[in-house]
Chains A and B, each alone.
Chain A
Amino acid sequence: MIKLSQERTRRLIAVHGWSAVICGLFLYVVVLTGAVAVLVHEIGAWSVGGSKVAEPMAAPVDATLRELIETVPEAQREDVSLFGNAAGEIVAYFHTHQQNPASGNMEDFGTLMDIDPRSGEVLRSREDYGSEVFNAGPGDALDRFIVDLHVNLHLPEPWGLYATGILGLVMLVAAISGLLIHRHLIKDAFVAPRPTGALLEKKDRHVLAGTWGLVFGFVLAFTGSFFSFATALGLPLVAITAFGGDQVAALETLSGTPEASDPAPVPMANLDAIHARSAAEAGSVPQFTSVSHWGRADSQVLVFHAPSEGELTGTTNLFDGATGEFLGVKPSLGTVPSAGTVAFDLMGPLHFGHFAGLLSKIVWVCLGLAMCYVTITGLQLWLQRREEDPLWRRLASSVEVVAYGTPIGLAGAAHVFFLSYGRADTHYWVASGFIGFSLLTIALGLLLPRAALHRTLAGFLGALFVLLPFTRMLLGGTPWAEALAGGNGVVVAMDCVMVLSGVICCRVAAGLGWMPRFAALTPRAAT
């Protein structure tokens, strides 16, 4: 590949290795939770026993909204946001904009209601600021915890975003330095791990996963850093450098100048008709609807759509809220389509992998897991080369603890979620469950000899995974027959994934391969 001098190669190996040693374990947590978070909608639906309806936003909502808006304080009738949650409910947020005394920032403030799309009944209602009110229902605890761990490591804003953004940059550095130091990238692309020595085998495994995952590692790291830094750092920097510190002017350039204000009261156009027209234009069911200035002459309705079949990006349609007239497709960035808009639009699908439904999500989960594998095997390789040193030996145990402790914490949190769902504050208990199971793993790491640690933790993780469907169903979760009858195959599929993952971990704990071998292998001397 690329020929470098010995000195440069040595320096690059140091950069590659030390960046991984310093940030590798945090990077692993972020990447693993990211791989899991790809399935966040499915996890959300599984945790609450499935969706009430497959497409809540396809249900008629206009009459319900007109009725409900009369029940909220008049000040909160300014704007309405509308979307479907994982439980198949419609979430409506009637809100205004005011300063949050806790943060000092201007925020949305209003009443959020979870609505049954079949009956229009309000299932839950809460009043709060936009930063607090979303995903705060009891059924949102598990998926919200996983997403927050991935996005900001549960650190306060903006420090959490900075931390994950920096970890994304570290992953970029590791990918680029890995590409430069590995001279036989193409030649070794098909060399299966050689079973002649633990060190060589680990090196082969690391190189192989790194080689095949290089391009997507780069893409995931770049887009992840973008999402971390774009709002936390990027927008303020753009505002300072290009708009003299005027964030409002920067926002108007990025999202368009608001229409001239016209507060004259006008009846709202029928939202169901707007949704139907928008779905016909976009070729998919609406995902999110934002109504600004409800019941005013200057009202506008933005309807966001997921990508239609074969497309990579979704569309956003703009309607006149008073007349229901279709005003056109609204670019996600700026006021007219541009190369910047295309690049910006690609960030989401490339990072989240949600552009082709479950199929693309499965592929993205595999890519994320490949990155986890690269991170852990890289760390193991680095530490095994230094295992004579007691300090590095202690760190080797911590790699095992974090590698297994993170999924153990997540699986434990899922068990605790089912125990507390409908009985206690799920958000509190999910966080407590994660911490508790993580501490238990750390304790095992301190107590057990290293030789026994790997198998014990793998067995523990396997047992937690296998037991999850039983915990779910024993504590009142939807049984398989009912889930299938209600069109919630995702519940059954997720249960099967848990059992399968558990069986794989148990095989590892038993000293077997992660899957049965169908061809006999007799290791032979390898070069």
Chain B
Amino acid sequence: MMSLILFLVASLLSGLGLAWLAAVNPKRRRVYGLSRPAPVVPWQKWAMAVLVLLPGVLLVVFGQVAGFVLWLGAVTVIGWMVALRRPALTR
């Protein structure tokens, strides 16, 4: 049960990170004619990378090898789903 909870929390956090990355991705915004967001500052870049990758690293650190492999697969699927969904237009 603990493994399941850790995996779900890790996938959720990484999913949020991927959604953030998608929301500010310059090319995604440009091709959909969305308003240009404020430039991403370095701490935001770090925060996004940490949010996406750190959960996986922590799973390995806590010895959840199966959880890590599962997280890798889940992040792949979540990333695809996030990117596949067309953004709602703001203008």
Interface residues of A (CB under 8 A from B): 187-195, 205, 208-209, 212-213, 215-216, 307, 309-312, 349-350, 353, 355-356, 359-360, 363-364, 366-367, 370, 519-522, 524-527
A208 close to B73 (CB less than 8 A):
no
B4 close to A359 (CB less than 8 A):
yes
Looking across the interface, which residue of chain A has its beta carbon closest to that of B19?
A190
Q: Which of A194, A350, A519 contacts B69 (CB 8 A)?
A: A350
Looking across the interface, which residue of chain B has its beta carbon closest to that of A527?
B31
Q: Which residues of A contact B73 (CB under 8 A)?
A: 216, 353, 360, 363-364, 366-367
A192 close to B84 (CB less than 8 A):
yes
Q: Which residues of A contact B47 (CB under 8 A)?
A: none
**Nearest 3 pairs between A and B by C-beta?**
A519-B88, A212-B80, A190-B25
Q: Which residues of A contact B1 (CB under 8 A)?
A: 309
Question: In the complex, A351 Cα to B76 Cα: how many Å?
Answer: 16
Fill in one digit per residue for B9-45: 1 if any A CB lies within 8 Å of its CB, else 0: 0000000000001100101101111000000000000
A307 close to B31 (CB less than 8 A):
no
Q: Which of A189, A215, A356 contacts B83 (CB 8 A)?
A: A189
Q: Which residues of A contact B3 (CB under 8 A)?
A: 309-310, 356
B83 close to A192 (CB less than 8 A):
yes
Fill in one digit per residue for B58-91: 1 if any A CB lies within 8 Å of its CB, else 0: 0000011111011011101101101111111100
Q: Which residues of A contact B76 (CB under 8 A)?
A: 212-213, 215-216, 367, 370
Chain A nearest CB, measured from B65 CB (Å): 5
Given known pairs A310-B67, A526-B32, the reply for A192 and B80 (CB within 8 Å) is no
Q: Which residues of B contact A213 (CB under 8 A)?
A: 76, 80
B79 close to A212 (CB less than 8 A):
yes
Q: Which residues of A contact B70 (CB under 8 A)?
A: 355-356, 359-360, 363
Given known pairs A310-B64, A312-B65, the reply for A370 and B80 (CB within 8 Å) is yes
Question: In the complex, A192 Cα to B69 Cα: how many Å?
Answer: 26
B74 close to A363 (CB less than 8 A):
yes
Chain B nearest CB, measured from A360 CB (Å): 5
Question: In the complex, A355 Cα to B76 Cα: how many Å?
Answer: 18
B4 close to A190 (CB less than 8 A):
no
Q: Which of B21, B28, B74 contacts A191 (CB 8 A)?
A: B28
Chain A nearest CB, measured from B77 CB (Å): 4
Looking across the interface, which residue of chain B has its beta carbon closest to that of A521?
B86
A189 close to B79 (CB less than 8 A):
yes
A522 close to B89 (CB less than 8 A):
yes
Looking across the interface, which residue of chain B has its beta carbon closest to that of A353?
B73
Looking across the interface, which residue of chain A has its beta carbon closest to that of B18?
A190
Q: Which of B2, B80, B86 contacts A195 (CB 8 A)?
A: B86
Interface core residue of A212, A310, A355, A527 (most chain B CB under 10 Å): A310
Q: Which residues of A contact B32 (CB under 8 A)?
A: 192, 194, 524, 526
Chain A nearest CB, measured from B46 CB (Å): 17
Looking across the interface, which residue of chain B has its beta carbon closest to that of A367?
B73
A208 close to B84 (CB less than 8 A):
yes
Chain B nearest CB, measured from A44 CB (Å): 23
Question: In the complex, A195 Cα to B69 Cα: how many Å?
Answer: 34
Question: In the complex, A370 Cα to B73 Cα: how many Å?
Answer: 11
Q: Which residues of A contact B86 (CB under 8 A)?
A: 192-193, 195, 521
B83 close to A355 (CB less than 8 A):
no
Q: Which residues of A contact B22 (CB under 8 A)?
A: 190
Q: Which residues of A contact B30 (CB under 8 A)?
A: 527
Q: Which residues of B contact A193 (CB under 8 A)?
A: 84, 86
Chain A nearest CB, measured from B76 CB (Å): 5
Given known pairs A359-B4, A359-B7, the reply for A190 and B83 (CB within 8 Å) is yes
Question: In the complex, A209 Cα to B80 Cα: how many Å?
Answer: 6
Question: In the complex, A175 Cα to B66 Cα: how many Å?
Answer: 25
Q: Which of A191, A311, A359, A366 contacts B65 (CB 8 A)?
A: A311
Q: Which residues of A contact B64 (CB under 8 A)?
A: 310
Q: Which residues of A contact B63 (CB under 8 A)?
A: 310
Looking across the interface, which residue of chain B has its beta carbon closest to that of A366?
B77
Given known pairs A191-B83, A311-B66, A521-B86, the reply for A363 and B77 (CB within 8 Å) is yes
Chain A nearest CB, measured from B67 CB (Å): 7
Chain A nearest CB, measured from B68 CB (Å): 9
Q: Which residues of B contact A212 (CB under 8 A)?
A: 76-77, 79-80, 83
A-B contact pairs, 18 of them (CB 8 A): A187-B27, A190-B21, A190-B82, A193-B84, A212-B83, A216-B76, A310-B3, A312-B65, A349-B69, A355-B69, A356-B7, A363-B77, A364-B73, A367-B76, A370-B76, A370-B77, A370-B80, A526-B33
